[in-house]
Amino acid sequence: MNRDVMMSDAAHFRIIYEINPYMDTGCQPDAALAAAEHKAIAAAHLAAGRTVRHMESAPECPDMVYTANGAFVCDGRAVLGDPPAMRQAEIPYFRSWLKENEFDVFDPPYDFSGQGDALACGRFLLAGYGRRTDRRMHGFLGDLYGHEVVPLRTVSEEWYDLDLAVAVIDEHTVAYHPEALDPASAGRLRGLGLELVEVCAEDARAFALNLISDGSTVTMTRGAPRLAAELRERGLAVEELDTTELRKGGGGVRCTALTLDNPAPDGATR
């Protein structure tokens, strides 16, 4: 899990529209610092033994640095994202890159925030809806991949993608901020039999849950000491990185990497 990822770059990253609560066209990221943060994330993945593949960003796509929204990839098959109108220009680049790298590519029938709203966890697919993803996507994803889809709705645009509120640590362990999910969704998550790590509001609002874990090493934002300490107590290596500039666009560590090696759930056949 998360041993093979695709990243773009921050060469054209800037705020020219506002599609989430974190974006402010009057508060531009420092280009050099954003690029340094992005390079440090890629270097941390490599240091953890992960493969990092690259897709060059396009000048007309300032959010292309957040590759997680471009698709969801599992078992060699990719479902493209269907993002807000301001990010639609990114999708042809994702389609071309995925096809060139020999993934089977599918168009989504409904609005879909890609990996931002689709978190593979063993036989489960934790699936966000109600903000950027139409709930009807869940049936499509379940039929295509064979996961047991778990619908999870966040309570506000503060958690516009599920990966700001929920993080998969390994196939048995999930970290989440309970107050970010509506009561029915929190109940569904608690009923799965997974080991759950509750994350406080302060850490969650620092993008702590927008992390990447391969089950042994966790790469996450700096500024969430409680979660970092909890993960270390569980025997995980934790690398904490600065994401101050990247967060100005509403994304963190996980947003900048599209996982390519999600396996099919046990018992599913391609």
| Mean pLDDT in residue range 208-219 | 98
**CB contact at 8 A, 31 and 10:** yes
Give dist(CA 76, CA 198) in Å, integer: 32
Scanning the chain, the segments in alpha helix (DSSP H) are 31-47, 91-100, 137-145, 183-190, 201-205, 225-233
**CB contact at 8 A, 110 and 136:** yes
CB neighbour list of residue 55: distance below 8 Å, 6 or more residues apart: 6, 7, 8, 64, 67, 93, 94, 97
Give the pLDDT of residue 119.
Answer: 98
Judged against a pLDDT cut of 80, whether residue 227 lies above it is answered with: yes
β-sheet with 51-54: strand ranges across? 51-54, 4-7, 258-259
267 is a domain residue: no
Phi, psi for 94 (deg, rounded to 5): -65, -45
78 is a domain residue: yes
Q: How many domains does the chain have?
A: 1
Across the chain, how many H-helices and E-strands are there? Answer: 6, 15
Token code pair at residue 126: 């934790």
**CB contact at 8 A, 22 and 244:** no
Output the domain CATH number for residue 174. Answer: 3.75.10.10
Give dist(CA 15, CA 21) in Å, integer: 12
Domain range for 141 is 4-259
Give the pLDDT of residue 244.
Answer: 98
28 is a domain residue: yes
pTM score over 0.85: yes
Q: Percent of the chain beyond pLDDT 70?
A: 99
Mean pLDDT of all residues belonging to the chain: 97
270 is a domain residue: no
